[in-house]
Amino acid sequence: MSTTEETTIIPRTADDPTDAETTAVLAPVPAAASELGWCGQISLGHQAFVGLGAFTSAYLVTDLGMSFWFAIAVAAGFGAVQATLLGMVSLRLTGLYFALVTLAYGAFAENTLFGITSLTGGEGGKPAARPPGFESPENYYYLCLAFLALVIWLDWRLTRTKGGRAMAALRENPRVASAYERGILDLVEAGVLRDRVGEVMTGVVVEVDEKKPYRGEGVVAGPAVEARLEGRTPLPLGEEVSVELVEADIENRRVRFSPA
């Protein structure tokens, strides 16, 4: 589906001898560009990332008259913004739940965002001129082939870097994955809350230490954050309480609340 959305923005005619070959070359690009498999995650929303990126680049080229190469860069940045926003929603989820969130986003984009005719051109798609020097079907095919080769090479190189080995470790060791995920979440939460230290919020006690019942975990809304909760008296598990944010340390990736 994502490949269809990506290639329909390019004008095609019945006498293009390399039309099928170009489509076949473009098909593996979204899969090759995905690194989630190395982390043991499954993403089912690639049609949204690829489709919206393709429609955005076509809009810039066709409607705004911008350069093909500039439009490609903007489309890549737009995809990064999508991934960041979706990650903020699904960062706490893994396995099937993460896959369902990405699937839901893909369906949402297909049924709503893809229907914005000013951006997508409607059911017929939005035509976009091929880049200078690659107007012929044969030249455009080789451009797409080179792009696929670049994506595969970057993917291969990434797996041999320190970051790539870390992703493999996340996939193979659930404890490492959990610790890494917790560290990322703590960093994001500390950054979001750093200007709200001293503020009183409403939260729910979701976990209490059996040996030290005055310590546990609490969840607050607006933004939704789960963090350490420490008081002087036993915490009421499952009850709503008023809590004060006493620490949001980005450097040490730590967020801490106490009962107000």
**119-168: pLDDT as tens digits:** 887 766 788 888 888 888 888 888 988 988 888 888 888 778 877 777 67
Within this chain, do residues 133 and 25 fall inside the same structural domain, yes or no? yes
Domain with residue 214: its CATH number is 2.40.50.140
Residue 47: closest CA among 95, 8, 12, 15 = 8
Same domain, 42 and 134: yes
**Same domain for 200 and 97?**
no
Structure confidence at residue 2 (pLDDT)? 36
What is the spatial distance between Cα 105 and Cα 98, in angstroms, rounded to a whole number? 11
Looking at the structure, do residues 212 and 165 belong to the same domain, yes or no? no
Residue range 183-212: mean pLDDT, rounded: 88
Last residue of a domain, one of 139, 172, 205: 172
Q: Find the domain containing 228 and state its range.
A: 178-259
Split at pLDDT 50, 70, 90, the class of 18 is: low
Residue 217 pLDDT exceeds 60: yes
Q: Provide the 8-state DSSP code for 67.
A: -
User: Domain check: are 54 and 155 in the same one?
Assistant: yes
Q: Which of 140, 172, 204 is the last residue of a domain?
A: 172
Is the model more confident about 97 or about 7? 97
Q: Are residues 11 and 130 in the same domain?
A: yes
Sole residue written with tokens 């076949």 = 24
Q: Where does a domain end: 143, 172, 201?
A: 172
Task: Using the predicted structure, report yes or no on whether residue 260 has a pLDDT greater than 60.
Answer: yes
92 vs 65, residue with greater confidence? 65
Please tell me the total count of domains within the chain. Answer: 2
